[in-house]
């Protein structure tokens, strides 16, 4: 694999697992996240194994940060083949809790963050004549559960945006892939402020969650297809998830 891949939310969880897997497969990875120290550690690990990696601090709610991620890819490696939009948050809670600041934060990161990535990468993809948007969505948008209304809404908004972009891009220039993980061992729960919801999520994830590399394998599969093959959607979840 000789592709150049930029990844948001790359400092931990699915993003870090994807960076490691793709770098080991031969891709050059460009890592973006808010935590510089973790990014530097990941770059060092990849380079110690003979891989290619660079990193820049990225807050996906800031368009300039995402534009810099794309620019670093082009300046360092001459192009950008794939943008993996993985950054996301999930401070879930019952609607009656009226945690409007958390609703807004999910909208800003989960929807606007993806749009900022599309806006930054699309001109590069069009100039090159090819580019692939891979976006981490969620099974929460496929089965709506209590406490996940707003979170699922943001994920379904992204699913709709990607399908619209796909239908606008049937000239063969742009590919889109939506990957919906179920319970994965990540720090997803770190933003949940509702203690009862947090306890339930931690209990569920501890019992059935899968390794982030399971999702990373699906990213590798999607981007490793011949250019005339597009993997539109993938669902990756624990065998025992209801």
The answer to whether 77 is a known catalytic residue is: no
- Residue 186 to residue 192: CA distance in whole angstroms: 13
Residue with tokens 């993809």: 125
- Which position among 151, 183, 192, 209 bears the catalytic label? 151
Give the chain as a 3 state SS string: CCCEEEEECCCCHHHHHHHHHHHHCCCEEEEEECCHHHHHHHHHHHHHCCCEEEEEECCCCCHHHHHHHHHHHHHHHCCCCEEEECCCCCCCCCHHHCCHHHHHHHHHHHHHHHHHHHHHHHHHHHHHCCEEEEEECCHHHCCCCCCCHHHHHHHHHHHHHHHHHHHHCCCCCEEEEEEEECCECCCHHHHCCCHHHHHHHHHHHHHHCECHHHHHHHHHHHHCCCCCCCCCEEEECCCCCC
What are 85's strand-pairing partners? Answer: 135
Catalytic positions, written as ranges: 151
């Amino acid at each position: 694999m000789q592709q150049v891949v930029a990844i948001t939310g790359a400092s931990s969880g699915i993003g870090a697992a994807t960076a490691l897997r793709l770098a080991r497969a031969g891709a050059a990875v460009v890592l973006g996240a808010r935590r510089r120290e973790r990014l530097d550690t990941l770059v060092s690990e990849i380079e110690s194994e003979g891989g290619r990696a660079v990193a820049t601090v990225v807050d996906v709610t800031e368009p300039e940060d995402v534009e810099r991620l794309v620019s670093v890819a082009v300046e360092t490696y001459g192009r950008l083949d794939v943008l993996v939009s993985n950054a996301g948050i999930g401070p879930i809670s019952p609607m009656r809790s009226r945690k409007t600041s958390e609703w807004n934060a999910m909208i800003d990161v989960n929807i606007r963050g993806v749009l900022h990535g599309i806006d930054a990468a699309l001109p590069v993809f069009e100039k090159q004549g090819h580019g692939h948007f891979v976006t981490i969505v969620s099974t929460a948008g496929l089965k709506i559960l209590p406490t996940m209304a707003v979170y699922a809404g943001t994920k379904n908004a992204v699913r709709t945006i990607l399908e619209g972009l796909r239908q606008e891009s049937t000239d063969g220039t742009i590919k889109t892939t939506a990957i919906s993980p179920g319970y994965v061992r990540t720090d997803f729960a770190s933003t949940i402020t509702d203690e009862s919801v947090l306890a339930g999520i931690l209990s569920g994830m501890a019992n059935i969650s899968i390794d982030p590399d399971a999702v990373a394998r699906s990213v590798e599969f999607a981007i490793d297809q011949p250019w005339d093959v597009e993997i539109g959607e993938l669902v990756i979840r624990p065998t025992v998830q209801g």
